Amino acid sequence: MKTKQKATVKKVTSTNGSMVDISLKFNEGWSYSPAPESTDHVSIKERYELFIGGKFVKPIKGKYFATINPATEKKISEVANASSEDVDKAVKAARKAFGPWSSLPARERGKYVYRIARMMQEKARELAVIESIDGGKAIRESRDIDIPLAAAHFFYYAGWADKLDYAFPNKKPKPLGVAGQIIPWNFPLLMAAWKIAPAIAVGNTVILKSAETTPLTSLKLAEIIQEAGLPDGVVNIITGAGDTGAAIVNHPDIDKIAFTGSTSVGKIIQKAIAGTDKKATLELGGKAANIILDDAPLDQAVEGIINGIYFNQGHVCCAGSRLFVQEGVAETVIRKLKDRMQTLIVGDPLDKNTDIGAINSKEQLATINKYIKIGKKEGADFYQSACDIPERGYWCRPTLFLNVSQSHRIAQEEIFGPVLAVQTFRTVDEVIEKANNTPYGLSAGIWTDKGSKIFNITSKLRAGVIWANTYNKFDPASPFGGYKESGFGREGGLPGLQAYLNLG
Residue 141 included in any domain: yes
Average pLDDT over residues 120-128: 98
Nearest 10 degrees: CA dihedral of 39, 222, 49, 209? -110
pLDDT in tens, 457-475: 999 999 999 999 999 999 9
pLDDT in tens, 232-256: 999 999 999 999 999 999 999 999 9
Is-contact 136 359, C-beta < 8 A?
A: yes
Residue 38 included in any domain: no
pLDDT at 2: 40
Whether residues 168 and 199 fall in one domain:
yes
Residue 36 included in any domain: no
With CA atoms as reference, report the closest residue to 73 among 390, 372, 415. 390
Residue 7 has pLDDT above 60, yes or no: no
Q: How confident is the model at residue 26 (pLDDT cuts 50, 70, 90)?
A: low
Planar angle of CA 82, 83, 86, nearest 5 degrees? 75
Q: How many C-beta atoms surround the C-beta of residue 496 within 10 A?
A: 29
CA distance 337 to 296: 14
DSSP state at residue 356: B
Q: How many C-beta atoms surround the C-beta of residue 335 within 10 A?
A: 17
Whether residues 315 and 276 fall in one domain:
no
CA distance 215 to 212: 6
Q: How confident is the model at residue 394 (pLDDT cuts 50, 70, 90)?
A: very high
Residue 297 included in any domain: yes
Average pLDDT over residues 411-418: 98
Q: Give CA 153 to chain center in angstroms.
A: 15
CA distance 343 to 357: 14
CA distance 283 to 251: 20
Whether residues 272 and 246 fall in one domain:
yes
Residue 177 included in any domain: yes
For residue 430, give the CATH number of its domain.
Answer: 3.40.309.10
Whether residues 270 and 308 fall in one domain:
no
Question: For the chain, what is the domain count?
Answer: 2
Residue 322 has pLDDT above 80, yes or no: yes
pLDDT at 3: 40
Whether residues 312 and 271 fall in one domain:
no
Residues tagged active-site:
283, 317
CB crowding 97-127: b at 16 or more within 10 Å, else e: bbeebbebebeebbbbbbbbbebbbebbbbb
Whether residues 447 and 498 fall in one domain:
no
pLDDT at 24: 61
Q: How confident is the model at residue 20 (pLDDT cuts 50, 70, 90)?
A: low
Residue 34 included in any domain: no
Distances (CA, A) of 160 to 110, 147, 164, 224, 453: 8, 21, 6, 21, 36
pLDDT at 37: 96
The model carries a pTM of: 0.93
Residues 6+ apart with CB under 8 A from 199: 179, 181, 205, 206, 256, 258, 500
Q: What's at 139, amino acid-wise?
A: I
Average pLDDT over residues 313-326: 98
Whether residues 411 and 498 fall in one domain:
no
- Among 79-83, 100-104, 250-254, 386-390, the range scoring the smallest mean pLDDT is 386-390
pLDDT in tens, 327-348: 999 999 999 999 999 999 999 9
pLDDT at 32: 86
Question: How much is the mean pLDDT over the chain?
Answer: 95
Cα four-point dihedral sign 272, 275, 276, 281: positive
Q: Which strands make up the sheet holding 256-260, listed edge to edge?
A: 55-57, 50-52, 235-239, 205-210, 178-182, 256-260, 279-283, 487-488
Percent of the chain surpassing pLDDT 90: 93
pLDDT at 11: 58
CA distance 213 to 322: 27
Residue 484 has pLDDT above 80, yes or no: yes
Cα four-point dihedral sign 483, 486, 491, 493: negative
CA distance 413 to 262: 12
Q: How many C-beta atoms surround the C-beta of residue 449 within 10 A?
A: 12
Residue 249 included in any domain: yes
Distances (CA, A) of 449 to 240, 431, 452: 48, 17, 9
pLDDT at 31: 79
Q: How confident is the model at residue 425 (pLDDT cuts 50, 70, 90)?
A: very high
Residue 477 has pLDDT above 80, yes or no: yes
Residue 6 has pLDDT above 50, yes or no: no
Whether residues 452 and 423 fall in one domain:
yes
Whether residues 278 and 393 fall in one domain:
no
Residue 85, domain extent: 47-284+486-503
Cα within 13 Å of Cα(288), Cβ side: 30
Whether residues 276 and 297 fall in one domain:
no
Distances (CA, A) of 63 to 208, 243, 367: 19, 13, 28
pLDDT at 424: 98
Whether residues 216 and 258 fall in one domain:
yes
Tell me the pairing of strands 55-57 and 11-13. unpaired
CA distance 419 to 476: 28
H or E stretch at 496: helix 493-498
Is-contact 120 147, C-beta < 8 A?
A: yes
pLDDT in tens, 29-58: 567 899 999 999 999 999 999 999 999 999
Residue 265 included in any domain: yes
Q: Which long-range contacts (CB under 8 A, 24 or more apart) does 35-39 make?
A: 35/351, 35/352, 35/353, 36/348, 36/350, 36/351, 36/352, 37/128, 37/129, 37/132, 37/139, 37/143, 37/350, 37/351, 37/352, 38/129, 39/129, 39/133, 39/350
Q: How confident is the model at residue 197 (pLDDT cuts 50, 70, 90)?
A: very high
Is-contact 191 197, C-beta < 8 A?
A: no
Residue 5 has pLDDT above 90, yes or no: no
Whether residues 330 and 250 fall in one domain:
no
For residue 226, give the CATH number of its domain.
Answer: 3.40.605.10
pLDDT at 27: 58
